[in-house]
Amino acid sequence: MRPLGGEVSLHMKASPEQVWALVSDVTRIGEFSPETFEGRWTRGSTGPEVGATFAGHVKRNGVGPTYWSPCRVTRCVENELFEFSVGTDSVAVNNWGYRLQPENGGTRVTEYFRLEPSLPIRLYWLLLGRLRGRTNERGMRTTLERMKQVVEQ
């Protein structure tokens, strides 16, 4: 079975600190993502730290349906790693993240997703994984290219 996820990397002529400011500010995701057009911190959270919560306003595949996805920051190392789960408080369905690595005077940015390995998710991935994986990879590439344009200005 294919891995339950994927990733895309892109080099940016910007410091890890500059890139971190974009990837960890969920209120700016609408500037970059082709599917998530808005984000806001929730439940009193105001910034990136493990346990912080936020919601992403998603237009699936860029056409719909439209819904709010609850998210929780699961890993957070300033200027290195920002990861969050998507799902309810008790059940995560998907995990998204950004790894930042200094490289050639800039930063290699890797955006990734990883589905939780529950039986229903494994069946979904078996049936639709290749198609959804390609869609996610295109979306991640678009997101990173848009971020690159901002940090390299």
For 38-47, write each residue's pLDDT tens digit: 999 999 999 9
- At CB < 8 A and 24+ separation, what contacts does 36-42 make? 36/69, 42/70
Domains along the sequence of the chain with CATH: 5-151 (3.30.530.20)
For 94-129, write each residue's pLDDT tens digit: 999 999 999 999 999 999 999 988 888 889 888 888
Q: Give the span between the Cα atoms of 41 and 32, in whole angstroms.
A: 17
Q: Give the span between the Cα atoms of 102 and 108, in whole angstroms.
A: 6
Q: Give the span between the Cα atoms of 125 and 120, in whole angstroms.
A: 9
Say what angle helices 119-151 and 16-23 make with each other, to 10 degrees: 130
User: What separation, in Å, do the N-terminal and C-terminal C-alpha atoms of the chain show?
Assistant: 41
Torsion sign (Cα): 125, 110, 143, 31 = positive
For 34-73, write each residue's pLDDT tens digit: 999 999 999 999 999 999 999 999 988 777 789 999 999 9
